[in-house]
């Protein structure tokens, strides 16, 4: 993902395309801020399908081919929408679902979500570009997120991040290897990952690897590049980023798969530090009454 070539094949940006449609999200700076080689973006919308007529209502979604989303995905999308009293609430999980299929929020994915929720593609794009977990370029088989917020950084997070970037020859949100191929790794620096007692931490596909060092982090990505999947300190057995994205959309697989994932470890020694100390010292909270005390009376309703 380090190519400096312009987005030559991008249908949307090419001069032949009319820019009548101001809804088009790919025109937004967020999507064009960094040049990406065309071959890195699979299934970009075919330019010929873009409507250019001035009289096209703006709310009509672009006719981007959403065929990449198969019947199962469409069923899942409907399941997501059915969870909520109002369909639009399904947007974030739908975009997670898109990422589980495409490995990023693709143009087709934006159109897919827009069609399902009867939104414009602009309305979807504005949301997709707001949240850091929605990737705008195809991500690797694994996503490695290194916490570089103050506390982790003070304890070595900055060195870990710098070491991984050097090792992989990439920067923030860049991918070593062909995105999606086996052993490809996207690296990002993350904000506080809510594991400060286990600092410095990193995550692979949002599973926790606690108490890291620059050396352990490099060893971890080397293993990932070899196709191994070292177990997280806290979390489910490692799969790949797209699989995690499916879980974020709310699909956890068959009962046994869910059970295995749920049973992944969670209680680090740090988590239980207070617990263990209390046990050792015989400290407990004040005892509750034997039976729940009567609930307070309620003032007369007027």
Partner 1 sequence: MTERTLTPVLTRRWAAPRSWTIDTYTRLDGYTALRTALAADPDQLIQLIKDSGLRGRGGAGFPTGMKWGFIPQAKPGEQPTGPAAKPTYLVINADEGEPGTCKDVPLMMADPHSLVEGCIITAYAIRAHRCFIYVRGEVVHCLRRVHNAVKEAYAAGYLGSNILGSGFDLDIVVHAGAGAYEAGEETALLNSLEGLRAEPRLKPPFPATSGLYAAPTVVNNVETICTVPYIVNGGSDWFRTMGTEKSPGPKIYSISGHVQRPGQYEAPLGTTLRELLELAGGMKGELKFWTPGGSSTPLLTTKHMDVPLDFEGAAEAGSMLGTTAVMVFNTTVSVPWAVMKWTEFYEHESCGKCTPCREGTYWLTQILQRMVRKEGTPSDVETMLDICDNIFGRSFCALGDGAVSPIRSGIKYFRQEFLDLCAQQSGHPRQAALSGSVR
Site for partner 1 in 201-240 (CB under 8 A): 203, 205-208, 234-236
In angstroms, what is the minimal distance from the CB of 144 to partner 1?
Answer: 13
Q: How far apart are the first and last CA of the chain?
A: 68
Single out the residue of 33, 54, 123, 62 nearest to residue 87, CA to CA.
123
Q: Within 148-207, which residues bind partner 1 (CB under 8 A)?
A: 148-151, 153-155, 190-199, 203, 205-207
Q: Which is nearer to partner 1, 23 or 50 (CB)?
A: 23
CB 73 within 8 A of CB 101: yes
Stretch that binds partner 1, among 3-11, 17-25, 60-68, 129-137 (CB under 8 A): 129-137
Q: Which is nearer to partner 1, 110 or 190 (CB)?
A: 190
In angstroms, what is the minimal distance from the CB of 75 to partner 1?
Answer: 18
Instruction: Give CA–CA dist 240/158, Å, rounded.
Output: 25
Instruction: Give CA–CA dist 112/213, Å, rounded.
Output: 42
Binding-site size for partner 1 (CB under 8 A) equals 86
Instruction: Give CA–CA dist 186/171, Å, rounded.
Output: 9
Q: Which is nearer to partner 1, 67 or 290 (CB)?
A: 290
In angstroms, what is the minimal distance from the CB of 169 to partner 1?
Answer: 24
290 binds partner 1 (CB under 8 A): no
- The secondary structure of 109-158 as a DSSP string is HHHHHHHHHT--HHHHHHHHTT-TTS-SS---SEEEEEE-SHHHIIIIIH
Stretch that binds partner 1, among 132-140, 160-168, 176-184, 220-228 (CB under 8 A): 132-140
295 binds partner 1 (CB under 8 A): yes
Element holding 255 (H helix, E strand): helix 255-262
* Three-state SS at 71: helix
301 binds partner 1 (CB under 8 A): yes
Instruction: Give CA–CA dist 20/64, Å, rounded.
Output: 16
Q: Within 105-124, which residues bind partner 1 (CB under 8 A)?
A: 117
Judging by beta carbons within 10 Å of its beta carbon (0-12, 13-18, 19+), is residue 119 exposed, middle or buried?
buried
Binding characters for partner 1, 56-95, by CB under 8 A (x = yes)? ---------------------------xxxx-xxxxxx-x
Stretch that binds partner 1, among 34-42, 57-65, 67-75, 276-284 (CB under 8 A): 276-284
Q: Which is nearer to partner 1, 43 or 197 (CB)?
A: 197
In angstroms, what is the minimal distance from the CB of 160 to partner 1?
Answer: 15
Single out the residue of 41, 31, 30, 29 nearest to residue 3, CA to CA.
41
22 binds partner 1 (CB under 8 A): no
101 binds partner 1 (CB under 8 A): no
* Three-state SS at 240: coil
């Amino acid at each position: 993902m380090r190519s400096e070539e312009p987005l030559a094949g991008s249908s949307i940006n090419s001069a032949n395309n009319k820019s009548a449609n101001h809804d088009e999200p790919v025109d937004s700076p967020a999507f064009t801020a960094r040049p990406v080689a065309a071959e890195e973006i699979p299934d970009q919308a075919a330019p010929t399908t873009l409507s250019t007529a001035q009289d096209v209502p703006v709310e009509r979604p672009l006719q981007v081919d959403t065929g990449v989303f198969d019947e199962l995905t469409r069923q899942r999308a409907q399941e997501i929408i059915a969870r909520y009293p109002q369909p639009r609430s399904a947007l974030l999980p739908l975009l997670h679902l898109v990422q589980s299929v495409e490995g990023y929020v693709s143009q087709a994915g934006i159109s897919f979500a827009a069609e399902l929720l009867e939104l414009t593609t602009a309305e979807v794009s504005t949301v997709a570009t707001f949240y850091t977990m929605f990737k705008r370029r195809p991500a690797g088989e694994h996503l490695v997120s290194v916490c570089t917020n103050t506390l982790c950084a003070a304890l070595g997070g900055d060195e870990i991040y710098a070491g991984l970037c050097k090792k992989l020859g990439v920067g923030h949100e860049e991918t070593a290897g062909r995105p999606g191929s086996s052993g490809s790794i996207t690296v990002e620096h993350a904000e506080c990952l809510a594991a400060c007692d286990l600092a410095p931490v990193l995550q692979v596909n949002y599973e926790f690897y606690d108490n890291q060092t620059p050396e352990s982090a490099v060893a971890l990505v080397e293993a990932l590049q070899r196709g191994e999947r070292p177990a997280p300190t806290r979390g489910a057995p490692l799969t790949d980023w797209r699989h995690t994205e499916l879980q974020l959309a709310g699909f956890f697989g068959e009962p046994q798969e869910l059970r295995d994932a749920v049973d992944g470890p969670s209680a680090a020694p740090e988590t239980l530090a207070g617990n263990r100390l209390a046990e050792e010292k015989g400290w407990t909270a004040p005892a509750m009454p034997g039976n729940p005390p009567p609930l307070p009376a309620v003032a007369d309703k007027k």
